[in-house]
Structure 1
């Protein structure tokens, strides 16, 4: 009925315009009607889309209230300087860990030259450095973020895979951990400053999840301050939301922290930031707190490293194809005609903007993934 009313309004407008020929009115009405009818099937939400929207509406409301309260607390604490971290980062207690198939080799962060002296470190290969988030450190028996990304890169076998053991400095009360991110990033920048004296900065790729994304941003930013050089790429995997408010002193990952900053948002507005941060921001399943297949914010927050890891496996580079768009509904309605680009490992480093895509509920998550996808790694 609303489409008929729209046509009548269009007709009424044109019939009150004396300079317009009636044949033009008829042609315009036909064109409008045809366009509307063509788009009606795309504009009607599918049952699964309605369910997903309802789930996010019910679940998202309390999330937004809780994290809004946390952000208010952090803003007050920052302005009053009333909260100090329980323990300040000490570079002497932190280390790089070079992961190989059979062992993990620790090197003090304040002796980075020892890293590339290791026989297991190949200076001819790129360096992928992963920094994980709150309550997940290297000493965990299982670190889902680190393990999944490492397993994927091991399948490729063409990188030096290093993580940063932050010695528990992001394993305290969240507000203390958040307040530590800038200083931890600065500590890492001091170490990288020495590393790039003998190892090409062009080969370094920083990847951070949650608070680790903000640490990576701080590392890149501070390294630029100290050397006037930029890391080629920083990938932010659902950068942490609470306490990182625009315009405040607690600076998080941002465009300009590297030559290219790409961000994947999977828990927007809850544990993860919802606003664009990088040169390119991907919003799988829209700007929502819960993606398909997740009923908790921790599940949603973990989806970003899972999506990225899947894209790293050989043959999976184009599993996640995204389109530059303004919203998921616009994507569903086919109002975004741009060329699809891959999210994750193979993201082009010269693309900018906000990109949307849909994913599967279960692994493999990429819509372009083959049904029989099973990683087989011999590296």
Structure 2
């Protein structure tokens, strides 16, 4: 294993900024860095900080190193560790303990990932409807996720889909390097069982949505599905796909063009927790290629904005809240030097779109420039069990 002195020093600097234990932490980390440098420790990946350690104390980062420098340093070290095969996940995914959860306005039903046929036994599952499968990322479970709850509520408000969430939290709720390793295996298992699901529902009705690490799981799932069937999943929507450890052409490539017929990506924490490079057929950059969109003062807020924007577009009447133009920068957009045709970001994104699209957003909900506060108020109860009981 080869690590540059620069990379090790970067890690030491990172640890000093993010750790609450100050100088002693630096001393301990220097000792660990020696092990990494000389390849003594087989599980060198354990020296990589977790995302919470890296980005949990935003004030320290603002006072110290720029966001993108921190993230790029971590990404560089992670790539080196991955290519050296010195990182071994301490928590191996057990596919037989993973579940799809079908979520309706009033109920939740768990179906083993290995038994998608079980969906047909549920009255709540309608084979004629579109099937949306959400895969979230680090530190998320189906029983404790605002992302899942909000997106489920929005889709249940529409009432025309089967909304499923994949619970993979036990295998991505760990050190980021280990979680990253597990995304490939989880994605392969998911892809294998999408083959079985596609025999139950029309393939054209399947839509995968992934946030953060979940976006890469969806990419691997789509790639695996294609390998096994020579067909493509119609659409993958990637919500701020995770940056650290995922680099095209390396051991962990993550989501790539060609993993689905159409891939739309929303970047909201570009270059930090989320990837900055275009990774889809169409890549949307709210507020341009920035790490902190309007209204966010932390990278966690920015990373979450991707799914918040998408959720807003799912509600009926909000499909065109976020209109973007093919462009290269916010500066050009504000000077009216971009394309003439504005296209919707999110739910209504059209599959013929290609390239980079830029748009402006607001700092609070409704975030879309075409958002309507009155309509938003009407959506408060839509998609909830109380609403389902009334109608």
Task: Indicate whether the TM-score tops 0.5.
Answer: yes
Cα separation, 2, equivalents of 1:351 and 1:291? 23
Pairwise CA RMSD of aligned residues?
A: 1.6
Cα separation, 2, equivalents of 1:342 and 1:331? 15
For structure 2, the 5+ residue unaligned runs are 1-58
Higher-Rg structure is 1
Selected match of 2:353 from 351, 354, 366: 351
Q: Does 2:105 match 1:104?
A: no
Cα separation, 1, equivalents of 2:64 and 2:279? 21
Q: Does 2:86 match 1:67?
A: no
Offset, 1:201? 1.1
Aligned to 2:342: 340
Aligned to 1:5: none
Contact 1:232-1:259 at 8 Å conserved across structures: yes
Q: Does 2:188 match 1:186?
A: yes
1:10-31 deviation per Cα after TM superposition (whole angstroms, max 9, x unaligned): xxxxxxxxxxxxxxxxxxxxxx
Contact 2:322-2:370 at 8 Å conserved across structures: yes
Aligned to 1:134: 138
How many residues are matched?
322
Contact 2:127-2:200 at 8 Å conserved across structures: no
1:305-352 deviation per Cα after TM superposition (whole angstroms, max 9, x unaligned): 000000010000000000000111110111113200000000111111
Cα separation, 2, equivalents of 1:133 and 1:283? 20
Aligned to 1:232: 234
For structure 1, the 5+ residue unaligned runs are 1-54
1:225-263 deviation per Cα after TM superposition (whole angstroms, max 9, x unaligned): 011111100000000011112321102111111000000
Contact 2:322-2:345 at 8 Å conserved across structures: yes
Aligned to 2:250: 248
Aligned to 1:275: 277
Aligned to 2:95: 91
Secondary structure of 1:189's match? helix
Cα separation, 2, equivalents of 1:60 and 1:111? 50
Q: How does 1:1-379 map to 2 (within 5 A)?
A: 62-140=66-144, 143-372=145-374, 373-374=376-377, 375=379, 376-377=381-382, 378-379=387-388
Contact 1:93-1:167 at 8 Å conserved across structures: no
1:319–1:87 CA distance, 2 compared to 1 (3 A): same
Offset, 1:145? 1.1
Cα separation, 1, equivalents of 2:252 and 2:187? 12
The alignment's TM-score, normalised by the length of structure 2, stands at: 0.80
Contact 1:324-1:355 at 8 Å conserved across structures: yes
Contact 1:94-1:167 at 8 Å conserved across structures: no
Which stretch of the first structure deviates more once superposed, 62-71 or 252-261?
A: 62-71
Cα separation, 1, equivalents of 2:83 and 2:339? 45
Contact 1:60-1:289 at 8 Å conserved across structures: no
Cα separation, 2, equivalents of 1:364 and 1:178? 33
Cα separation, 2, equivalents of 1:335 and 1:247? 34
Offset, 1:371? 3.3
Cα separation, 1, equivalents of 2:106 and 2:114? 25
Offset, 1:59? 8.2
Cα separation, 2, equivalents of 1:257 and 1:246? 13
1:346-374 deviation per Cα after TM superposition (whole angstroms, max 9, x unaligned): 01111111000000000000001123232
Cα separation, 2, equivalents of 1:72 and 1:300? 22
1:129–1:328 CA distance, 2 compared to 1 (3 A): same
Cα separation, 1, equivalents of 2:82 and 2:113? 29
